Structure 1
Amino acid sequence: MDLLALRHFQVVARHEHISRAAAELRVAQPSVSRTIGRLERELGVPLFDRTGRRIRLNAHGRAFLRRVDRALGELADARREIADAEAMGHGTVAVAAETLLSLTGTLAAFRAAHPRVAIRLFQATAEEMARLLQAREVDLCVASQPVTGPALHREELIREEVFLAVPHGHPLTRRDRVTVRDLVDEPFISTRPGHWQRALLDRLFAAEGLRPAITCEGDEPGAVHELITAGLGVGLLPAMSRLSAHATSVAWLRIEAADCVRTLTLVRHADTYLPSAARRLADLLVRDLSEDVRP
């Protein structure tokens, strides 16, 4: 049993598909199949259930995968720790967030202070963040929804009110607060399921036995503000957005509903070595984002 075989098994287990695994590994499909076969013979049990050309991890495979993930993760951490000690101010830090726009100020300050550190950014939902953390593909996540999974460390950064933003000239601008029932016929600009804005919008309406009328949905939460400004609808925006240079381009109304808030959390894998560059960026994120948001 060698590391290459374990790596091949890990990728095949994630895809549950030989061809896709081979494409990711950049090796021939028959080679991957032979590697998995040798591994199963060495262990003395099948790791996958096979039906025609389809494969699925069985109970043996799931148990083995947990150990393989842990073993390969430890080796990856060891390499990073050694490289980190050698780098002396260099290195790489990888960060995931639902929208990257809220991180730009912190990232600019970090880059100015540590110009030799490479920064990798991922835009991801909370579900995708959990996978990226478990796979050791990112060091830090800034999440607006719970990121679930084993051995995750979470630190609350801010808990801020969420407002209804409407374009100027809209009839609702004559008011300073609304209820969910006032918004039944309003066209909403929102995000796709999986993002915090959509989750909060659906929850607020469901509490009243209603469903929102969504006229536009996408994968970039930061675009919601601009689309509201363009007059395409109304939408939910966090208090943080009221501090931006474009805050006056929309009107802001309070929503009379329980728990109409966003909680921003810094998440990392508790059992993974955190490089010094990532630790410095985490400290900066806590400093910049932990302050109260006061519109």
Structure 2
Amino acid sequence: MDLSALRCFQAVARHEHISRAAEELRVAQPSVSRTIARLERELGVPLFHRQGRRIRLNRYGQTLLRRVDRALHELDDARRELTDAAGLHQGSVSVAAETMLTLTGALTAYRAAHPEVAVHLHQVAAAAMPGRLRAREVDFCLASQPLAGPSLHGIDLAREQVLLAVAEAHPLAGRERVTVPELADEPFITTRPGLWQRALLERLFARHGLRPRITCDGEEPGAIQHLVSAGLGIGLLPAMSRQAAPTAAPVRWLRLDAPDCVRTLTLVWHADAYLSTAARRFRDLVVADLSDGTASGRVRTLPPAR
């Protein structure tokens, strides 16, 4: 088994699709099919269930994939570590976040201190973050909701209250506090499923056996306050929104009577992955820049996925 065959198998196993794997590997589809057939002959067992043009990993393939992932991750980490030790280049760091706005200050400071480092940013939903870390596609994830998965470590950087924003002419505008059941019939403006605002909203309502009435969900969390100000609905926003743009889109702010109506900002990485000097310096800077004393600031092991 050579490395090219194992990487080919890994790509096919990930996509469970020959054409998509060939596109990722930038090789012809017949070449991928021949490589998988040769690997199966060498191992003496089939690795996939084949149903017409569809393929699916079988139990032999699942066993092999666990070993291949581990071996290739170790080799990739070894290459990064040797390159880092030899000083062959100034390094790179790759970060995934649900929204880039939170990282703006830290990125500005990091680029000023280390202009030679290549920084790669990815906007990723929280559900996809453990997989991106496991595949070594990113060094860090900055999450605004709880993550779970094997071998994940994290530092809670900040914990801030999430407030309810309503239009100035809304009937609730004169209130200081409100309960979740009182909002059962209110139209909510929020983000698409997978982003933290939506996850928090659904969790708060589910505790009361309710489902929020969502009239607008989208990709732009920054647009929520403007749509609320226009009277199109109400929405949950972090307290920092109240401080950042108090007059850009005027709204009234209420506290929700729910003890966990908060956002915890957590920096997460894979415990088994090698972190280059550039990546470790980035982690130190982010911790210094974003830690505000409201969270523990200590490294902890995250719970395994359920």
1:89-104 to 2 correspondences below 5 Å: 90-104=90-104
CA contact (8 A) 1:101 1:222 kept: no
Amino acid at match of 2:38: R
Query: Could you tell me which residue of structure 2 aligns to residue 285 of structure 1?
Result: 286
Residue 258, structure 1, aligned to residue 259, structure 2: yes
Q: Which stretches in structure 1 are left out of the alignment for 5+ residues?
A: none
Distance in 1 (CA, whole Å) between partners of 2:247 and 2:255 is 15
* Matched residue SS, 1:84: helix
Query: Could you tell me which residue of structure 2 aligns to residue 125 of structure 1?
Result: 125
Percentage of identical aligned residues: 68
Q: State the 1:282 CA deviation.
A: 1.0
CA contact (8 A) 2:95 2:138 kept: yes
For the structure 1 residues 253 and 87, does the alpha-carbon distance in structure 2 shift closer, same or farther, using more than 3 Å as the test?
farther
Query: Could you tell me which residue of structure 2 aligns to residue 64 of structure 1?
Result: 64
* Matched residue SS, 1:280: helix
1:76-225 to 2 correspondences below 5 Å: 76-87=76-87, 90-225=90-225
Question: Normalising by the residue count of structure 2, what TM-score does the alignment of the two structures yield?
Answer: 0.90
Query: Could you tell me which residue of structure 2 aligns to residue 242 of structure 1?
Result: 242
Deviations 1:13-72 (A, max 9, x none): 000011111111111111000000111111111111112221110111111101111111
* Matched residue SS, 1:185: coil
Amino acid at match of 1:260: C
For the structure 1 residues 270 and 183, does the alpha-carbon distance in structure 2 shift closer, same or farther, using more than 3 Å as the test?
same
Amino acid at match of 1:278: A
Point out the more displaced range, 203-212 or 105-114: 203-212
Q: Which stretches in structure 2 are left out of the alignment for 5+ residues?
A: 295-306
Distance in 2 (CA, whole Å) between partners of 1:246 and 1:149 is 38
The size of the alignment, in residue pairs, is: 294
Question: Normalising by the residue count of structure 1, what TM-score does the alignment of the two structures yield?
Answer: 0.94
Residue 11, structure 1, aligned to residue 11, structure 2: yes
Amino acid at match of 1:27: V
Query: Could you tell me which residue of structure 1 aligns to residue 275 of structure 2?
Result: 274
Amino acid at match of 1:291: D
Aligned-CA RMSD value: 1.9
Distance in 2 (CA, whole Å) between partners of 1:238 and 1:52 is 50
* Matched residue SS, 1:174: coil
For the structure 1 residues 27 and 193, does the alpha-carbon distance in structure 2 shift closer, same or farther, using more than 3 Å as the test?
same
Distance in 2 (CA, whole Å) between partners of 1:40 and 1:75 is 23
Amino acid at match of 1:157: L
CA contact (8 A) 1:130 1:147 kept: yes
